Structure formats: structure tokens, C-alpha cells
Chains A and B, each alone.
Chain A
Amino acid sequence: MVKRSYNQTPIKAQDPEVRSHNFNEVVLGYSLDEGRLEASRCLQCKNHPCMLHCPVMIDIPGFIKKIEDGDMDGARKIIAKYSNLGAICGRVCPQEKQCEMACTLGRSKKFEPVAIGKLERLVSDWDLDNPEPVKVIPHDKGRVAVVGSGPSGLTVAGDLAVKGYEVTVFEALSTPGGVLIYGIPEFRLPKATVKKEIDRIRDLGVKIETDVVIGKTITMSELVDDFDACYVGVGAGAPHFMSIPGTNLMGVYSSSEYLTRINLMHSYKFPTYDTPIEPAKQVVVIGGGNVAMDSARSAMRLGAENVSVIYRRSLEELPARIEEYHHSVEEGIQYHWLTNPVAYLGDENGQLTGVKCIKMELGEPDESGRRRPVPIAGSEFIIPATTAIEAIGQGANRVMLDTYPDLKTNKWGYVDANEETCATSVPGVFAGGDIVTGAATVILAMGAGKIAAKEIDEYITNKTAKKTSHSA
């Protein structure tokens, strides 16, 4: 038997010195040979714990075996059974908290887990480059409206089109993809890849209508009347502000605005693109999630002299993907742990000049089980800053919900939907993804989409059967 390498097969990445000045993808992906080498590390466990820790339960040992055998077509066919967005999930899933965390090889301490995400990416990228001819499916089982074209909406749409439904996706922005387009930057998730994945869903016969704000352009009630079922996947995109003094100073951004300007509007290519962004000089990012990492690394790429992230807990509690944290450190991002902002300071023109912070210490565990940060009296200090970006989380956007009170929401303002069935308080209206769970991950949104597609199929099939029996 071949001796297994303790370590994952190294993957090519852009040099930190170079990449911190461009928006091109950092991780370059495995070659087929590297992929086969990495695939050969998989133990092919019978109990496949990795698969149980994937939110859509991809047959991981199955597709990895195909890679090892050099059968890329076989590998893609396996992934396609479970996921519509492999090239995206392979890149952005927090695998260290999912499949790779459960990998038997990785749990043996001496070995690193199999690089499952990077292998999924390899297969899915190969699949996008070597597309199979599209089968024409008749769409005669019913009509479904999908509100929002993020990962959950796209998954519902793709699955239902394959099942024979006529699906229309309504998107408020000019480009479909949700957070994949306006949130996650090019250097982590190339927009060309997202576009290819979305084009493939279009090829299944899914119609995507952009520039339609449900609740404004068309009402939710109209959709309920016009379609056999609806899926609400509008995400949790409304930014929270800490509302500390100075929030309205020039230079203070929500991460949503900062990233939308960069990713959706291409402001890093100003003036070729018309949307401007303030030049990054001294940048402070507030928060510890992936959005904070994305904002900090984007600011660095806009030419910042220095970028620091302030987080009220410590590295141990950092919610961001560990790979992205490491990338950010390599790119020169500095961290202030156990630090919270208390005020933004500005000059007489209203321009931000600094962030006043306070040091924190960890107290008793809170309801999330993490130790609660408590401010240390008298520990205030100032970080000079011309740009501050708040990445402290997002909430439910009320635009659609306020115009459709029939749809019940919970005390946090998210849609009250059954997580097992995605059913809401309105019969025929299903919901999933961040609008139900609050800001979570791409793969969880996709998982909800897969459940919803199955439930919507059952719902319409039953309704049609009832109608038929009534009329008979």
C-alpha cells in the first residue's frame, strides 16, 4: 500500500505580496494530477462521517474515488445528484467546521483531513469547462415563483426545473446571485464562475427576472395568486449599525455598502466603472466573521497603508473561516483582539479621523456558549482611521415582509418557517436560507433549497391530484 502523506497536497496560490494588490482569485486550484494524489489520501470509510457532516450530504467518498480513478465524468455525476453549486461551495464552505472536521484521517491528529472542498472545486470547475449537453425537460407540472436569486433560491429553481416545473426567479438587483455576487469578493469567488453556474441553471429552463423588487415592483400577493407555489429566499441583507457616536461621518461604511460598491459595482475599477469608493488609507474593520475578512482584504487591495480588524473576543472565538484568517494575516492585516469601538472621531469637515476603542476581557459564557466580552474601564485608546467598516452582522430586510403581513415572522424578524419542510404560515409559500435562519452559510441556504424543492413538488402534486379528483 502507498504510504499516505500526513499533509494535504499543497495547492497553488498567488503570492501574498502580489495578491494583496489585485482582486484575482487567491487559491488557484488543483491540477488533475494533484487532485488524484489528494484523492488517494481518502480512507474510503464505510461509515463516511464526512458525508454526515455535509449539509447536503454529498457522497464524498464516492466522488473522491472517481477522482482517484481519473473518472472526472463519474465524479461530476455524483456531485450533481446532491449539489447545484459545487464550484461555489468547494470555495466558500467552512469545511473545517463541516465535512473536513469529521474526516477520519484528520481526526487521527497526525494527519491533516482530506481536502474535500478543494476536490469538490476541482470536479466542479472541470464540469463547468466540459459541460454536458442540456437535456430539454418539459415544464408542465406547475408554475413556481422564487423570490431572491441567492444560493437557496437558485437551488430551489434548479431542482424544480429538473422535476418539470416552470420556474421564474425574481431578483431585485441587476445581476442574479445574491451574496455570491455583491458580498463575497472576486479574490475568493470569481464572478465568472458564479455566472457559469447561474447560466447552467438558466439552461435548465429557469427564467430569471432582474430589477424586480417583490413588495414594490410586484406584490407578494400577486405572486401567490399567479403561481402554484412560491419560495422566499430573500436572505438577511439589511445591515446593522452599532449606532455609536459618529456613525454618519464620511468614511464610515457598513460592510454591505463597502462590498456592494466593490463587488457588484466594480468601484475598484473607477473611473472605468462609474461607482466611486473612498481611497483606502488607514482602515479599521469591526467584526470577526467572513464579511469582516472580506472587507479588510478588499481594503488592502484598494491600496490601504494599513488595515486592522478589531474583534471583541479572541482568535479562538473568531467565526470566520480559518483559511481566510490565515490569508488575511499573510496579506498584512493586523488584529486587535478583545477590542470594541465606542465612538468614531472626525474633523470639522465630517471626515473620519479615528476610531476610539475600549479593551475587553472575557467573562462568563453567554447563551451561545462563548465567553461574554466585558469592557475594561479606563482602557480606551484611539486607532487613527480614514475608513471604518462595520461588519457586525445583518438582519432581515423588511421591504417584502412589511408589504405582506400574512407571512408570519419570529421575534428576530425572520420568517417563521418549519426547518424540516420550509413551510410558512401561508399555504403554498415556502421559505429558507438566511431569511429563516439569520445570516448563515451558502451551503445551509442550499440545503434549505433542496428541502424546499422536494416539499414544493409534493405540495403541488397533492394539490393537482385533489383538483383532478374534484373535477372527476
Chain B
Amino acid sequence: MFKVTAYERLTTNEYQLWIDAPRIAARAKPGQFVIIRMDETGERIPLTICETNPKDGQIRIIFQVIGKSTAELAEFKTGSELLDVVGPLGTPTAIKNYGTVLLVGGGVGIAALYPTVKGLKQAGNRVITVLGAKSKDILILRDECAKYSDELILMTDDGSIGRKGLVTEAMEDVFNREQIDQAWAVGPGIMMRFCTQVATKHDVPVYVSLNPIMIDGTGMCGCCRVTVDNHIRFACVDGPEFLGAGVDWDSFMQRMRQYRVQEKQAFEQYEQLRQVQ
């Protein structure tokens, strides 16, 4: 069992947990994730490790409520226990000194981007970070990203903070302005796809962090397979980071929708039950 040691509601729909998991905290690197199962009837869901505190044996997770399991996870307040937390899984981000790097995060993807921002800054890069969200009140980790960025650009759909517009617009500006040696984009599939297009247009290699459906997260089933450079890769062991230019985006985004009927059914049933209680 893995104890939740701190719980916070960050925005209307996003939550933060600190979980007691000393072994994972000791070893996790930027870009890695855990698989969580809450209870005996639960499913296994992958969530990126946002931060670790190896001294106290804690890991930090930020997630958005999008369905039954995340809604249920949002009920795990301080002191409650998760049945399974497995990790750190996946291949860590290739952290090194590239020169100048551009990092782009959208929505809850910012939580997955943050450890990379921090890691790249500590590795001596000049870090330019672009964060995007619908509006100010759901733009998470602003101060933390600012701390490890030489320049922080905020983009919102409604202009409530930073500039009004999409993260790709900010990317265009940066690429037109200066030489970028390596880029990252983490967020919804559609955002990563467009970020890849923009970066490719400017001949800048861009890493994306793919979030396909996973079961075991250890290379045992191939549920998370993606086609990269015409080869089948398992996102859980070969990724989750891949160079965006090689990703078969159509098949990746289609496979994300494989269980939407069942996902909707489970969520509706859960919400109904919660209303009754």
C-alpha cells in the first residue's frame, strides 16, 4: 500500500498528490511515469512523475479528472492508501546540455513537462518555456516553471493571462527570433502534433511525450504500441518520449479513442452512484 501524504486541488479539475513511495522517489528521472491502481477492482493508469523528494521518499503526481478512475483518484485525500504504485517506468528524457532549448506544455501536460524544464536548466541549457491553457485559473505550475526558465511565455485561449492564442504561435515567434537546438512538446495529442509541424518547418528536432492507453507499463502487452519511423514501438519501454517527426499521428490519435464508449459508460455510472450517496 502507498500512502497519500499530501492532497491539493489545484484547479477546478486538476489535483495534486504526494505519495509515499521511497523506492520510486530514489530512482525516478525526468520523463518517467508510474502506473497506479487504486483498489482491487481498479484499472492500471499511467501518470507522469512530476517531482520527487528522495530524502522523504515522496513522489508528486498531478492529474486531471477525465473519467472514472481519475475522478476516483481525486477522492484519495491525505492519509488514504493506494493499492499499487509501480515505477519509475519508461525511458528517461535525454537530459544534457544542448545549448538553447524550447519547452512547450499544454494543459495537464505541463505537469509532465515540468521535471524536464528543471532537468534541462540544471544541465546548463538556456531554457525557454511556453505554457498554454484555456484560461489563467487552470494554468498550473507557472511559478515553478518560471524558476527554471530563462524566459517564460504564457498563452491562454481567452487572454486572461499572458498572450491570447495557441502555444504554436509562441513557438513560431521563438523560432523566427533565434536558433533553438532542441524542443519538447507535452500536452494533448493534437497539440503535440501541431507543435511537431511547426518545429519541423523550422528544422528543429522536437521530442513529444506520448500518452497512449497502457495496461502493465512494462513491455508485456503492446497495448501502448505506436508507429515511429515505420517501426512498432512500445511507449511504455521505448518511450514515452519520441521525436515527433517520426510519429504516425493518425494511428496514435485513433487508438486513444478505442474505449471511449466504455469509458463514458463507466464515468456516467460512477457519477450516478456518487449522486445517490
Chain A positions near chain B (C-beta within 8 angstroms): 172-174, 182, 210-213, 216-218, 237-239, 241, 243, 247-250, 253-254, 256-257, 260-261, 265-266, 270-276, 278, 349-350, 397-399
Q: State whether A271 touches B258 (Cβ < 8 A).
A: no
How far, in Å, is B208 (CB) from chain A's closest CB? 17
**In the bound complex, what is the Cα–Cα distance between A273 and B219 (angstroms)?**
23
Q: State whether B69 touches A274 (Cβ < 8 A).
A: yes
Q: State whether A399 touches B218 (Cβ < 8 A).
A: yes
| Partner of B259 from A211, A237, A248, A276 at Cβ < 8 Å | A276
Chain B positions near chain A (C-beta within 8 angstroms): 23-24, 27, 37, 41-44, 68-69, 83-89, 215-216, 218-223, 225-227, 232, 237, 248, 250-251, 254-255, 257-259, 262-263, 265-266, 269
| Residues on B with beta carbons closer than 8 Å to the beta carbon of A211 | 84-86
**In the bound complex, what is the Cα–Cα distance between A247 and B231 (angstroms)?**
11
Q: Report if A216-B88 is in contact (Cβ < 8 Å); known contacts: A174-B83, A250-B258, A350-B255.
A: yes
Q: State whether B225 touches A241 (Cβ < 8 A).
A: yes
Query: Which of A253, A260, A266 gathers the greatest number of chain B CB atoms within 10 Å?
Result: A260
Q: Which 8 A-B pairs have the closest CB atoms?
A: A350-B254, A276-B262, A274-B43, A257-B221, A248-B251, A275-B43, A254-B222, A276-B259
| Residues on A with beta carbons closer than 8 Å to the beta carbon of B68 | 274
User: What are 20 sample pairs from A and B whose C-beta atoms fall under 8 A apart?
Assistant: A172-B216, A174-B37, A211-B86, A213-B89, A217-B23, A217-B86, A241-B222, A247-B225, A250-B257, A256-B222, A260-B216, A261-B215, A265-B44, A271-B269, A272-B41, A273-B43, A276-B262, A276-B263, A349-B254, A399-B218
| Residues on A with beta carbons closer than 8 Å to the beta carbon of B43 | 265, 273-275
Given A211-B85, A278-B258, A398-B237, 5 other A-B contacts at CB below 8 A?
A: A216-B88, A241-B222, A250-B257, A260-B215, A397-B218
Interface residue SS majority, chain A:
loop
| Partner of B42 from A270, A274, A278 at Cβ < 8 Å | A274
| Residues on A with beta carbons closer than 8 Å to the beta carbon of B216 | 172-173, 260
Q: Report if A250-B255 is in contact (Cβ < 8 Å); known contacts: A216-B89, A241-B232.
A: yes
**In the bound complex, what is the Cα–Cα distance between A275 and B39 (angstroms)?**
12
Q: Report if A265-B84 is in contact (Cβ < 8 Å); known contacts: A174-B37, A274-B266, A398-B237.
A: no
Nearest B residue to A397, CB-CB: B219
How far, in Å, is B230 (CB) from chain A's closest CB? 10
How far, in Å, is B86 (CB) from chain A's closest CB? 5
Q: State whether B215 touches A248 (Cβ < 8 A).
A: no
How far, in Å, is A246 (CB) from chain B's closest CB? 10
Nearest A residue to B267, CB-CB: A271
**In the bound complex, what is the Cα–Cα distance between A270 and B266 (angstroms)?**
8
Nearest B residue to A269, CB-CB: B41
Q: Report if A397-B220 is in contact (Cβ < 8 Å); known contacts: A213-B86, A241-B225, A274-B43.
A: yes
How far, in Å, is B189 (CB) from chain A's closest CB? 13
How far, in Å, is B229 (CB) from chain A's closest CB? 13
**In the bound complex, what is the Cα–Cα distance between A174 and B82 (angstroms)?**
12
| Residues on A with beta carbons closer than 8 Å to the beta carbon of B24 | 217
| Residues on B with beta carbons closer than 8 Å to the beta carbon of A271 | 262, 265-266, 269
| Residues on B with beta carbons closer than 8 Å to the beta carbon of A270 | 262, 266
Q: State whether A216 touches B87 (Cβ < 8 A).
A: yes
Q: State whether A274 touches B23 (Cβ < 8 A).
A: no
| Residues on A with beta carbons closer than 8 Å to the beta carbon of B222 | 239, 241, 254, 256-257
| Residues on A with beta carbons closer than 8 Å to the beta carbon of B41 | 266, 272-274
| Residues on B with beta carbons closer than 8 Å to the beta carbon of A247 | 225, 232
| Residues on B with beta carbons closer than 8 Å to the beta carbon of A216 | 27, 87-89, 218
Q: State whether B23 touches A250 (Cβ < 8 A).
A: no
| Residues on A with beta carbons closer than 8 Å to the beta carbon of B226 | 248
Q: State whether A275 touches B44 (Cβ < 8 A).
A: yes
| Residues on A with beta carbons closer than 8 Å to the beta carbon of B262 | 270-271, 276
**In the bound complex, what is the Cα–Cα distance between A349 and B271 (angstroms)?**
29
| Residues on A with beta carbons closer than 8 Å to the beta carbon of B85 | 211
How far, in Å, is A55 (CB) from chain B's closest CB? 25
Nearest A residue to B85, CB-CB: A211
| Residues on A with beta carbons closer than 8 Å to the beta carbon of B255 | 248, 250, 350
| Residues on B with beta carbons closer than 8 Å to the beta carbon of A174 | 37, 44, 83-84, 86
| Residues on A with beta carbons closer than 8 Å to the beta carbon of B251 | 248-249, 350
| Partner of B84 from A210, A257, A266, A397 at Cβ < 8 Å | A210
How far, in Å, is B21 (CB) from chain A's closest CB? 9
Q: State whether B27 touches A238 (Cβ < 8 A).
A: no
**In the bound complex, what is the Cα–Cα distance between A256 and B69 (angstroms)?**
23
How far, in Å, is A58 (CB) from chain B's closest CB? 31
| Residues on A with beta carbons closer than 8 Å to the beta carbon of B259 | 276, 278
Q: State whether A217 touches B225 (Cβ < 8 A).
A: no
**In the bound complex, what is the Cα–Cα distance between A217 and B35 (angstroms)?**
12
**In the bound complex, what is the Cα–Cα distance between A266 and B237 (angstroms)?**
24
**In the bound complex, what is the Cα–Cα distance between A257 and B216 (angstroms)?**
9
How far, in Å, is A386 (CB) from chain B's closest CB? 12
Q: State whether B266 touches A256 (Cβ < 8 A).
A: no
| Residues on B with beta carbons closer than 8 Å to the beta carbon of A265 | 43-44, 215
**In the bound complex, what is the Cα–Cα distance between A211 and B36 (angstroms)?**
10
Nearest B residue to A275, CB-CB: B43
How far, in Å, is A158 (CB) from chain B's closest CB? 24
| Residues on B with beta carbons closer than 8 Å to the beta carbon of A243 | 232
How far, in Å, is A162 (CB) from chain B's closest CB? 29
How far, in Å, is A452 (CB) from chain B's closest CB? 23
| Residues on B with beta carbons closer than 8 Å to the beta carbon of A249 | 251
| Partner of B220 from A212, A238, A241, A253 at Cβ < 8 Å | A238
| Residues on A with beta carbons closer than 8 Å to the beta carbon of B232 | 241, 243, 247-248
Q: State whether B84 touches A276 (Cβ < 8 A).
A: no
**In the bound complex, what is the Cα–Cα distance between A211 and B84 (angstroms)?**
7
